[in-house]
Amino acid sequence: MNPQEVRTSVVEIIADIALDEDTSNLKDDVSLRDQLDLDSMDFLDIVMELKKRHKIEVPQEDFPRLATLGSCVEYLTPKFIH
């Protein structure tokens, strides 16, 4: 997958987790928690969905690398096998 496809996939997961949030205008360089009303359980749900949908394991020590949409795309793009 290219970075744009990874971004789309991550936004879809976030939209499925944060049902009441508008994910159409997410900024790449602003913390997802600052842009959305996500708590730590929502964040874990996002990580679990990455594993379920794409078989991507994110070790707990790498969670900070998923802080922004841009850092998610940067971290996850090499992990997508497609």
CATH superfamily of 3-79: ACP-like (1.10.1200.10)
Q: Output the pLDDT for position 82.
A: 54
pLDDT in tens, 36-50: 988 889 999 999 999
Determine the pLDDT at residue 37. 87
Catalytic residue among 22, 34, 39, 62: 39
pTM of this structure: 0.90
User: What percent of the chain shows pLDDT beyond 70?
Assistant: 99
- Please state the domain extents for the chain: 3-79
Residue 56 has φ and ψ, to the nearest 5°, of -105, 120
Q: Are 58 and 66 in contact (CB under 8 A)?
A: yes
Biggest CA–CA distance in the chain, Å, is 31
Reply yes or no on whether 39 is catalytic.
yes
pLDDT tens digit string along 15-39? 999 988 999 999 999 999 899 988 8
DSSP element (H, E) containing 28: none
Closest CA relative to residue 26, chosen from 81, 73, 75:
73
Is 66 within 8 Å of 47 (Cβ atoms)? Answer: yes
